[in-house]
């Protein structure tokens, strides 16, 4: 099952107008290989490699997300370099950057920020 991590410092605007925390999906090598061959949904983690559902079914049989080779190729191009990122370090860096930006703008946040704490 993929690991999903929420980042409250990185927000995404959705088509319905809502703003939600970004989700970082961490796939292990086996899941990445199944996704690359069209047998794994990177949205919900469904694996249909052992079923009669064909590769690249068009939609995930569970969550109905679009599952096409073109979609995966674009996702892979967009995030391939991201596979080198240590997400814990990246989250800490973004937290620090946000804290410093807030301080420069005079925005006060209650509490004390400690690197590595959430």
Q: Which two tokens stand for residue 97?
A: 């950057």
For 36-73, how does the pLDDT look when each residue is reduced to its tens digit (9 = 90+)? 899 988 778 889 998 999 999 999 888 888 888 887 78
Mean pLDDT of the chain: 76
Residues 6+ apart with CB under 8 A from 1: 45
Average pLDDT score over residue span 75-102? 72
- As a whole number of angstroms, the distance between CA 34 and CA 22 comes to 24
State residue 42's pLDDT score.
Answer: 78
pLDDT at 80 over 80: no
- As a whole number of angstroms, the distance between CA 57 and CA 60 comes to 7
**Highest-confidence range of 6-20, 57-71, 76-90, 103-117, by mean pLDDT?**
57-71
* Between 92 and 107, residue with greater pLDDT: 92
pLDDT at 75 over 80: no
- Domain regions of the chain by residue span: 3-105
* CA 85, 32, 48, 62 torsion-angle sign: positive
Q: Are 49 and 38 in contact (CB under 8 A)?
A: no
Least confident of 6-15, 54-63, 86-95: 6-15
- As a whole number of angstroms, the distance between CA 90 and CA 92 comes to 5
* Between 57 and 2, residue with greater pLDDT: 57
pTM (predicted TM-score):
0.49
């Amino acid at each position: 099952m993929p690991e999903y991590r929420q980042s409250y410092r990185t927000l995404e605007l959705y088509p319905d107008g809502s703003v939600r925390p970004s989700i970082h999906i961490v796939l292990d090598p086996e899941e990445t290989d199944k996704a690359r061959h069209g047998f794994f949904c990177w949205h919900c983690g469904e694996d249909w490699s052992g079923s009669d559902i064909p590769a690249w079914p068009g939609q995930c049989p569970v969550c109905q997300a679009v599952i096409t080779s073109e979609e995966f190729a674009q996702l892979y191009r967009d995030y391939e370099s991201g596979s080198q990122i240590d997400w814990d370090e990246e989250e800490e860096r973004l937290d620090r950057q946000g804290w410093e930006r807030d301080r420069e703008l005079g925005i006060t946040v209650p509490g004390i920020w400690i690197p590595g704490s959430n």
